Amino acid sequence: MTSTRTFLAFQHDASLNTLETIVTAVLPFDAIGDTKQLFKDATEEHHVIITEKTIFHPQGGGQPSDVGVLKSKSGTFTVSAVRMDPNGQVLHLGLFDGDSASSFKEGETVEQAIDVEKRLLYSRLHTAGHVLGAAVRHLLEKEVENFDELKASHFPDSAACEFQGSIDGKWKEPIQKRLDEYVAAKMPVQIEWWDEEDFRSRGLERLIPDRSLVPAGEKSRVVNIIGAEVYPCGGTHVDTTDLCGPVTVKKVARKQGNSRVSYVVK
């Protein structure tokens, strides 16, 4: 199994819906060793395809994986789940259409095509989550003891942002109001690449990613929502905040000193 990291084309140009790339490995699911645990619903009928580049976002950072197809002269492979292994390889899990013996070959050129409708939904949800996080931080950073942003889920049925500190339910309407203002403001959502000095020069030392998460010699990818907040992030996003569409705060819940603000996009 090759160990060369996959080039994440979607992180540099999220507008790519198709991409030609080279197959570097074709593996029966049972042959991928310990990384089998990354896929919960796979069977022995599934294969894993690894390519030099990918426009498929692997599940992670709170964002679901893209789905779609890989096509070549020798057949079509339907991608149902995508994950990244510890070596930085992107694993495309799926099934070959038609004849089960059909397969790609290493070195073969394939065309990747993502499900554009799902990508847009996931991008809207991801940007909306960051906009919500910014709204809550700007409102409550000085109001809630030991406030901090913890983690987020941007899945369609369970979208929520979690915060350190207890956020009272009375804040639901003010959070919604600030969120609506940020969405309506059409704030540009820019993808940038920062080194540690870029964070420090802006007074954002708290956002410097763990060194182990940034490949040697590379900068950190950040999402800069102009006028709101900056987030280290490897996910996909819409270009301006209004493209999130209407974002609704569903509930503010508290547990063990932390708070969870759930949301939906329409």
Establish if 81 belongs to a structural domain.
Answer: yes
Establish if 1 belongs to a structural domain.
Answer: no
pLDDT at 210: 84
pLDDT at 178: 98
Rounded CA gap, 28 and 49, in Å?
9
Pairing of strands 53-54, 148-153: unpaired
pLDDT at 2: 52
Work out how many domains the chain is built from and give that number. 2
Give the domain-ending residue among 89, 114, 139: 114
Q: Could you tell me which residues come within 8 angstroms of residue 164 by beta carbon, excluding any fewer than 6 positions away?
A: 146, 147, 148, 149, 150, 257, 258
Contact (CB, 8 A) for 215 and 5: yes
Contact (CB, 8 A) for 126 and 155: no
pLDDT at 100: 54
For residue 236, what is the domain's CATH number? 3.30.980.10
pLDDT at 151: 95
pTM: 0.94
Q: Do 255 and 127 belong together in one domain?
A: yes
pLDDT at 213: 73
Q: Write out the chain's pLDDT in tens, 266 residues.
A: 556 899 999 999 999 999 999 999 999 999 999 999 999 989 999 999 999 999 999 999 999 999 999 999 989 999 999 999 999 999 999 999 976 556 899 999 999 999 999 999 999 999 999 999 999 999 999 999 999 999 999 999 999 999 999 999 999 999 999 999 999 999 999 999 999 999 999 999 999 988 777 777 889 999 999 999 999 999 999 999 999 999 999 999 999 999 999 999 99
For residue 48, what is the domain's CATH number? 2.40.30.130
Q: Do 13 and 62 belong together in one domain?
A: yes
Q: Do 204 and 236 belong together in one domain?
A: yes
Establish if 180 belongs to a structural domain.
Answer: yes
Q: Could you tell me which residues come within 8 angstroms of residue 142 by beta carbon, excluding any fewer than 6 positions away?
A: none
What is the residue range of 260's domain?
Answer: 119-265
Rounded CA gap, 62 and 126, in Å?
8
Give the domain-ending residue among 73, 98, 114: 114
Rounded CA gap, 204 and 130, in Å?
16
